[in-house]
Amino acid sequence: ITSPVAFDMLPLKLHSFSKSTPTGLDCVGCKRRISAPVITDGGLDKTALTDDVGSEEDLYEDFRSSTHRYGHPGGGGEQLAINELISDGSVVYAEALWDHVTMDDQELGFKAGDVIEVMDATNKEWWWGRILDSEGWFPASFVRLRVNQDEPMEDYPLKVEGGREEDSRRFGMGQTTKDQMRTNVINEIISTERDYIKHLKDICEGYIKQCRKRADMFTEEQLKTIFGNIEDIYRCQKKFVKALEKKFNKDHPHLSEVGSCFLEYQTEFQIYSEYCNNHPNACLELSRLAKVNKYVYFFEACRLLQKMIDISLDGFLLTPVQKICKYPLQLAELLKYTNPQHRDFKDVEAALNAMKNVARLINERKRRLENIDKIAQWQSSIEDWEGEDVLVRSSELIYSGELAKISHPQAKSQQRMFFLFDHQLVCCKKDLLRRDILYYKSRISMDDMEILDVEDGKDKDFNISVKNAFKLHCRDTEEVHLFCAKKPEQKQRWLKAFENERRQVQLDQETGFSITEVQKKQAMLNASKQHHAGKPKAVTRPYYEFLLRQKHPTLPSTLPQQQVFMLAEPKRKPSNFWQNISRLTPFRK
């Protein structure tokens, strides 16, 4: 995701964290479509949007008659700023975020933490740089520009022959104290926060306000889809920046104690979860509207009236997604230059962990929300479904597999397929002829159940010999269900799955995770439409297909495989949802 770049036009001033960084914010790891690097212009004094209908219509008509094309990548502002600095004789340094291993002599290899002198940033995806005597192309998304371009290089030792480290003072960079480094980072945080507030204000007043005047073009539901809860984010960020400014020491910025502000607002930052979850829908809706000229002209007129830079609306709307990922980077940089004896050290350290957790929570909620569509489609593939929808109580498939169920009173054994969701266990029967077809049989509520491990041998409750067995016992009704797996390892997997199910339920309660009724109904409606349309029962992902159609860089010919940026990605085992479902292939019915 390309982080925002804030710069003043005269003179140019480059801020930190301005380079593309892969991020796990969308859990499947797909690349997002970005029209251009998102840039906020904090250097111009913009006037408020007027309600002068006459001037608006004149501008609208002038624009319609012009040849300006909506969605122009425009910008290139980041490359322009960097190259202008280079052409002025300034030395621009970037720090490697990941290893870049290459066997191409035209590419520049490096390790995470290496400092690269950027010599050419004309190309959006690939930059030309130098480390010691080596020069070559490197992926721009693997680095970020250093916060302090005047930072002493002894903080970034270079390897030389013999394996020893040598200070790189030969670069001619000035000597600066650690306090000065912290001052630069604090100023960076305050500056980008103010730019971000201006950016949110432009969206709310420049776009949303104007859209609401045109009820003939936009419904409230459309505006909710396009802009999500960005107005809530704007209100939250205004309070946050005020809190930061209260903690900002203007005379001695390095003494500022801003860590407590992040700790105070960590819960409120969870509103970004809703925005990030909605962002793919916003992109799809804007893509649909971009095919209609009147919407193209209208959005561009809004941008010009607000005197915003030449970026399409979908680029502006990406900024909040980038912002929540940027906080851990900024705090990590701040912690790096905060002495352990500093009064702010513990708060910054705690704030860094808190913001990482916020990012992980947003990631997890996004993944869970994506799962409900899969669950709805799975249910639509089951024949003879009875009772309430799975989504009424559940939002996650924990485990699935085949078990023998023993029933009272005859102790009759039946082979069934079981699907363990949070809060419930669904039982299905395979079709005798077509084994990929499943029929609904029953379900068991897991909230009142306790799991009992049964030893091999004769069971006294059912009066039969069992092997690889376990029981589900209802504490309220004393009802008992007996199950047998084919192999001991299968039994252990089920026992572990039941533990995970209870842990998931508890975690959802602690974090307040829930899926709205609207989201549930929409997922079931989409699955029903797809079912009745006679389409193959496979999950379609138009948003990600749309993203993957974007052009790859032309120089070099192939992009290296990027590592997932773990700051915003929770460490967890890969979801086994589709591995479980693929055994049954119910979507091929």
What is the DSSP secondary-structure string of 134-177?
Answer: EEEEEEGGGEEE-S-TT--GGGS-EE-TTS-EE--GGG-PPP--
pLDDT single digits (tens) 431-477:
888 878 999 999 999 998 999 999 999 888 888 889 999 999 998 88
3 state DSSP class of 123: coil
Identify the structural domains of the chain with CATH numbers, from first to last: 76-145 (2.30.30.40), 178-371 (1.20.900.10), 396-512 (2.30.29.30)
What is the average pLDDT across 477-486? 90
3 state DSSP class of 418: strand
What is the predicted pLDDT for the residue at 199? Answer: 93
What is the predicted pLDDT for the residue at 489? Answer: 94
What is the average pLDDT across 175-192? 83
What is the predicted pLDDT for the residue at 441? Answer: 94
Taking each helix axis from N to C end, the angle separating 577-584 and 345-381, rounded to the nearest 10 degrees, works out to 10
Which band of pLDDT confidence, cut at 50, 70 and 90, is reported for residue 362? confident
Taking each helix axis from N to C end, the angle separating 53-65 and 293-305, rounded to the nearest 10 degrees, works out to 120
| Percent share of the chain, pLDDT over 70 | 70
How much is the mean pLDDT over the chain? Answer: 75
What is the predicted pLDDT for the residue at 547? Answer: 38
| Percent share of the chain, pLDDT over 90 | 39
Residue type, 143: V
Backbone φ and ψ for 436, nearest 5 degrees, come out as: -90, 0
Which band of pLDDT confidence, cut at 50, 70 and 90, is reported for residue 412? confident
Quick check: 423 pLDDT over 50?
A: yes
- The full DSSP string for 347-392 is HHHHHHHHHHHHHHHHHHHHHHHHHHHHHHHHHHHSBT--SS-GGG
Closest CA to 107 of 124, 128, 87: 128
Which band of pLDDT confidence, cut at 50, 70 and 90, is reported for residue 226? very high
Which band of pLDDT confidence, cut at 50, 70 and 90, is reported for residue 367? confident
What is the predicted pLDDT for the residue at 44? Answer: 36
Which band of pLDDT confidence, cut at 50, 70 and 90, is reported for residue 496? very high
Which token pair is 133? 């005597």
Quick check: 17 pLDDT over 50?
A: no
- Which residues have a Cβ under 8 Å from the Cβ of 178 and sit 6 or more positions away? 337, 339
Of the two residues 65 and 515, the one the predictor is more confident about is 515
Type and span of the H or E element at 442: strand 438-445
Quick check: 206 pLDDT over 90?
A: yes
What is the predicted pLDDT for the residue at 360? Answer: 86
CA 299 to chain centroid: 26
Q: Cα dist. 281→16, 185, 228, 286, 317 in Å?
A: 30, 35, 9, 9, 12
Quick check: 124 pLDDT over 50?
A: yes
* CB contact at 8 A, 152 and 173: yes
Residue type, 390: V
What is the predicted pLDDT for the residue at 553? Answer: 36
- Residues in a beta bridge with 458: 465
pTM value? 0.55
Closest CA to 561 of 145, 118, 143, 141: 141
Which token pair is 46? 């913009």
* CB contact at 8 A, 11 and 313: no
What is the predicted pLDDT for the residue at 379? Answer: 93
DSSP category for residue 111: -
Query: What distance in Å separates the CA atoms of residue 330 and residue 185, rounded to the nearest whole number?
Result: 8
Backbone φ and ψ for 511, nearest 5 degrees, come out as: -90, -5
pLDDT single digits (tens) 291-349:
999 999 999 999 999 999 888 898 899 899 888 888 998 999 999 999 999 999 999 99
Query: What distance in Å separates the CA atoms of residue 2 and residue 121, rounded to the nearest whole number?
Result: 15
- The full DSSP string for 445-512 is ESTTEEEEEE-SEEETTTTEEESSEEEEEETTT--EEEEE-SSHHHHHHHHHHHHHHHHHHHHHHHHT
What is the predicted pLDDT for the residue at 20? Answer: 34
What is the predicted pLDDT for the residue at 147? Answer: 57
Residue type, 259: G
What is the average pLDDT across 133-148? 80
Which band of pLDDT confidence, cut at 50, 70 and 90, is reported for residue 579? low
pLDDT single digits (tens) 282-297:
988 999 999 999 999 9
Closest CA to 1 of 43, 28, 30: 30
pLDDT single digits (tens) 76-98:
455 667 777 777 778 888 888 77
What is the predicted pLDDT for the residue at 303? Answer: 92
User: 11-20, 45-54, 386-395, 531-540: which range is least confident on average?
Assistant: 11-20
